[in-house]
């Protein structure tokens, strides 16, 4: 991927707050590379083998019209391996994102949220975030890192729809997972790593005879050592976690 990106962002302050300059201008040159050898088969509930590795970077320069010189980089690697037969899959992922430049002009990223985390050339806040059961706003910084591990297995292959309505349910599958993530500014502290573990249930559907959707929901036990909080949370999403 090679691209030129132009963004004009305006922040709206909350009550009682005021920005000296609420407007931010980015003009960036971007480049990226994606290797994808994942394979999925007729009765798969997920990619069953192969890897996907994405790397992307951008540089913003005042010479292009940006407010300041800076940049950002993203790395996302995921691997899939069939276990036990019958389309059960062990899926693993690690991802990192970081930005540099004057404070206040850097991009920020979130490490949290229910997903989906799509391997696309995206420099938005949620591009690598996947920490199920944790609010995306709670783990935000100019540098982030995430690790995810899923054991996915089929539950019920339905292959039916309700009468003649244009809705078709293909399969139900489940996963147990473990997530870990952190966000920071200048120094990484292992003691600040947030974690989540739990289970989720997903339904693969085809709507209007053509469009595939996966609806997922689950329960996560989360631990946040920064806020000194451990809790159980319910989450939902449309799409695979990764």
> What pLDDT sits at residue 12?
80
- Mean pLDDT for all residues in the chain: 94
Count how many Cα atoms sit within 13 Å of the Cα of residue 174 in the half-sphere of its side chain.
8
Residue pair 124/28 in contact by the 8 Å Cβ criterion: no
**Rounded Cα–Cα distance for residues 45 and 41 (Å):** 9
**Rounded Cα–Cα distance for residues 102 and 85 (Å):** 52
> What pLDDT sits at residue 164?
87
Can you give the length of the chain in residues? 242
> What pLDDT sits at residue 19?
67
- Secondary structure of the chain in HEC code, one letter for each residue: CEEEEEEEEECCCCCCCCCCCCEEEEEEEEEEEEEECCECCCCCCCCCEEEEEEEEEEEECHHHCCCCCEEEEEEEEEEEEEECCCCEEEEEEEEEEEEECCCCCCCCEECCECCCCCCCCCCCCCCCCCECCCCHHHCEECEEEEEEEEEEEEEEEEEECCCCCCEEEEEEEEEEEEEEEEEECCCCCHHHCEEEEEEEEEEEEEECCCEEEEEEEEEEEEEECCCCEEEEEEEEEECCCC
Q: What pLDDT digit, counting tens, does each position of 59-111 carry? A: 999 999 998 999 999 999 999 999 987 899 999 999 999 999 998 789 999 99
> What pLDDT sits at residue 84?
85
> What pLDDT sits at residue 128?
97
Question: Going from the N-terminus, what domains does the chain have, and what CATH number goes with each?
Answer: 2-238 (2.40.160.50)
Residue pair 151/175 in contact by the 8 Å Cβ criterion: yes
Q: What pLDDT digit, counting tens, does each position of 144-164 carry? A: 999 999 999 999 999 999 888
Q: What pLDDT digit, counting tens, does each position of 6-51 carry? A: 999 887 877 777 767 778 888 999 999 999 999 999 899 999 999 9
Q: Nearest-5° angle of CA 62, CA 68, CA 71?
A: 95
Q: Is the C-alpha dihedral spanning 153, 97, 19, 4 positive or negative?
A: negative
pTM (two decimals): 0.89
**Rounded Cα–Cα distance for residues 29 and 13 (Å):** 29
Per-residue pLDDT, averaged over 199-222, amounts to 96
Backbone angles phi, psi at 187, to 5 degrees: -130, 130
What Å distances lie between residue 32 and 35, 76, 120, CA to CA? 10, 11, 10
Residue 52 in this model has a pLDDT that exceeds 70: yes
pLDDT tier, 4 (very low <50, low <70, confident <90, very high otherwise): very high
Residue 200 in this model has a pLDDT that exceeds 90: yes
Q: What percent of the chain lies above the pLDDT cut of 90?
A: 83
């Amino acid at each position: 991927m090679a691209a030129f990106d132009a963004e004009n962002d305006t922040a709206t302050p909350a009550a009682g707050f005021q920005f000296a300059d609420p407007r931010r201008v980015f003009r960036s040159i971007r480049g990226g590379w994606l290797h994808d050898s994942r394979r999925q088969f007729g009765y798969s509930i997920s990619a069953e083998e192969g890897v996907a590795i994405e790397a992307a970077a951008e540089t913003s320069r005042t010479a292009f019209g940006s407010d300041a010189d800076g940049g950002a980089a993203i790395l996302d690697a995921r691997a899939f391996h069939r276990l036990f037969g019958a389309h059960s899959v062990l899926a693993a992922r690690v991802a990192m994102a970081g930005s540099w430049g004057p404070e206040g002009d850097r991009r920020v990223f979130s490490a949290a949220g229910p997903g989906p985390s799509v391997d696309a050339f995206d420099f938005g806040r949620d591009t690598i975030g996947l920490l199920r059961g944790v609010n995306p706003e709670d783990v935000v910084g100019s540098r982030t890192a995430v690790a995810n591990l899923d054991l996915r297995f089929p539950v019920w292959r339905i292959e039916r729809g309700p009468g003649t309505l244009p809705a078709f349910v293909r399969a139900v599958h489940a996963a147990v997972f473990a997530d870990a993530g952190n966000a920071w500014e200048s120094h990484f502290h292992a003691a600040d790593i947030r974690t989540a573990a739990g289970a989720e249930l997903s339904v693969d559907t085809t709507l209007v005879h053509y469009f595939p959707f996966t609806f997922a929901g689950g329960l996560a036990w989360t631990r946040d050592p920064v806020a000194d909080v451990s809790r159980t949370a319910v989450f939902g999403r449309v799409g695979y976690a990764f």
